[in-house]
Amino acid sequence: MRSDASTVRQHIVANIAQLRRFTFSLTGNPHDADDLLQATVERVLKKGAPDGADMGKWMYRVCKNIWIDEVRSRQVRVRAVETGKLQGAQFEDGERRTLDRLSLAEVTDAMQRLPDKHRVVLSLIALEGCSYREAAEILEIPAGTVMSRLARARQALADGLAVPQNGN
């Protein structure tokens, strides 16, 4: 049996700010973050959560899964464009593509500057979608160490990608 609609709505309201920050951390773009947040809330409202599930954790899991699906979908579209499978309605926004490549290069450079132990944890959790517990089991370290390394990795990555204010 699934949670009732009233309980689901209460949990959404209680967790919406944290979930919004999470969506922005995944997408890096406020518009994409809003779209992801909306998709997450819609899915949770429509499907609820399994009995006994921690609604906060469940919403993060739903959000992460929607984002993974979106990333995969984008990759398929990019490959289709690059291989010429999207003929006819195909167009290219050169400025956007250049900015995307620059952003990807910046993220890649910042990731490479991370210590291995931080990069591995960040990759397992942020890219592979592992839970803290799963990452801890894979790396054979305590879950608290995973959380600590992840926090340090995220902060270092954010610092490495900081955009100067006023063009400086």
DSSP code at position 161? T
Helix (H, G, I), strand (E, B) or coil at 95: helix
Same CATH topology for 1-91 and 93-168?
A: no
DSSP string, 24-70: HHHHSSHHHHHHHHHHHHHHHHHH--BTT--HHHHHHHHHHHHHHHH
How far, CA to CA in Å, does 13 sit from each of 37, 39, 82?
12, 15, 42
Q: Which CATH code, of 3.40.800.20, 3.90.180.10, 3.40.190.10, 1.10.1740.10, is assigned to 1-91?
A: 1.10.1740.10
Q: What tokens does 143 get?
A: 């879950």
Q: How far apart are CA 28 and CA 10, in angstroms?
A: 27
pTM of the model: 0.49
CB 91 within 8 A of CB 77: no
Domain ranges in the chain are: 1-91, 93-168
pLDDT, position 11: 86
pLDDT, position 34: 93
CATH 1.10.10.10 fits 93-168, yes or no: yes
User: How would you write the pLDDT of the chain (168 residues) with one tens digit per residue?
Assistant: 455 778 888 888 988 988 898 888 888 888 999 999 999 999 988 988 888 888 888 888 898 889 888 888 888 877 776 676 555 444 556 656 655 665 767 777 777 788 888 888 887 888 778 899 988 988 889 999 999 999 998 888 888 775 444 433
The end-to-end CA distance of the chain, in Å, is 56
Q: What tokens does 36 get?
A: 């992801």
